[in-house]
Amino acid sequence: MSGRILLHCCCGPCSITTIDILKDQGFEVLAFFYNPNIHPLQEYVRRRDGFLEVCGRMDVKVIGRLDEYDSKRWFRNVAFREENRCFHCYADRLERTLSLARRGGFDYFTTTLLYSKFQKHLKIAELGRDMAGSGKCEFYYHDFREGWKEGIERSKAMGLYRQQYCGCLFSENERYAGELERS
């Protein structure tokens, strides 16, 4: 494959092997960080900074605003939809990525969410394809999980901040729920 691809990135560690795979496939990769789901703000900043470090080290151009953090909007978007919050969160981030990709004349768009073995992989792929429709900017699906272990090792070697939950308040609470029950 070849062409220009806009890669939505959720963090630095998830970006490493995703960028490598896309470059190996002949894509010109540009990266975009949009993640209003990440909570709290300090967590958002740590992940954003890790993303910027990876892009700098891997010589990937970053586009879009890096200060676009609107957690109130995200909470309104998932309010009363907690059981299906991931779908709405994916949709928000993919819609923003596709919009930017179309304005920028990209051939494709994709996301590092397809790297994580903890995400709803098939739902993300289906959503991306549906959003792209038959337009000029296509959703590029690839199972980036093939580089899961390598990405972890490389992010550790780079000394990157490695988060322990997806990003939203709900996922953070789920992560620590077991500790609350044990206390």
| Per-residue pLDDT at 25 | 97
Per run of 10 residues, the mean pLDDT along the chain (length 183 residues) is 94 96 98 90 92 97 84 74 78 96 98 93 96 96 93 93 68 63 62
Query: What DSSP character marks residue 106?
Result: -
Q: Tell which residue, 157, 142, 89, 86, has the closest CA to residue 118.
A: 86
Cβ contacts of 68 within 8 Å, gap of 6 or more: 34, 36
Q: What is the CB-side half-sphere exposure of residue 157 using CA atoms within 13 A?
A: 8
Domain assignments of the chain as residue spans, ordered by start: 3-182
Helix or strand holding residue 176 (H, E):
helix 169-182
In which residue are the tokens 């901040």 written? 161
Give me the residues paired with residue 3 across strands: 27
> How far is 163 from 83, CA to CA, in rounded Å?
22
| Per-residue pLDDT at 64 | 85
Q: Contact at 8 Å (CB) between 145 and 21?
A: no
Tokens of 167: 């990003």
| Per-residue pLDDT at 172 | 60
Tokens of 65: 């605003």
| Per-residue pLDDT at 174 | 63
Tokens of 153: 């090792």
For the domain 3-182, what is the CATH code? 3.40.50.620
Classify residue 148 as exposed, middle or buried by CB count within 10 Å of its CB (0-12, 13-18, 19+).
middle
C-alpha distances (whole Å) from 18 to each of 5, 40, 140, 144 are: 12, 25, 12, 6
Residue 23, Cα to own-chain centre: how many angstroms?
A: 17
| Per-residue pLDDT at 55 | 97
